[in-house]
Amino acid sequence: MITPNNARFDHRKYRPFPAIKKTDRRWPDQSLTAAPHWCSVDLRDGNQALIEPMSVAQKQRMWGLLVKMGFKEIEVGFPA
């Protein structure tokens, strides 16, 4: 269960691994200095991958669960 005490992930308690120095590299020499932002795409790509797509009620339940888990960004898809 997500509570205010365990909802925030403290990335500062982990030390980065020693970088391997090589020439001609751009992005591998950069390091993350903050925790990543997570975005759920379950109601977009996840629903399209199902053999039986979710009903409206199932999508609403999934939305509620994602919000309850603390997601601030949720991508949704609409049928074409």
pLDDT at 68: 92
Domain-embedded: residue 57:
yes
Identity of residue 38:
W
Domain-embedded: residue 23:
no
Report how far residue 59's alpha carbon sits from residue 55's, in angstroms, rounded to the nearest whole number.
6
Domain-embedded: residue 25:
no
Domain-embedded: residue 14:
no
Grouping H, G, I as helix, E, B as strand and the rest as coil, residue 57 is helix
Domain-embedded: residue 61:
yes
- The two structure tokens encoding residue 44: 């977009």
Query: Average of pLDDT values for 46-61?
Result: 84
Domain-embedded: residue 51:
yes
Domain-embedded: residue 2:
yes
DSSP code of residue 28: G
Mean pLDDT of the chain: 79
The count of domains in the chain is 1
Residue with tokens 């975005």: 39
Grouping H, G, I as helix, E, B as strand and the rest as coil, residue 64 is helix
- The two structure tokens encoding residue 19: 């970088």
- The domain of 68 spans 1-7+36-80
pLDDT at 7: 64
Query: Residues 9-32: pLDDT tens digits?
Result: 777 788 878 877 777 777 776 777
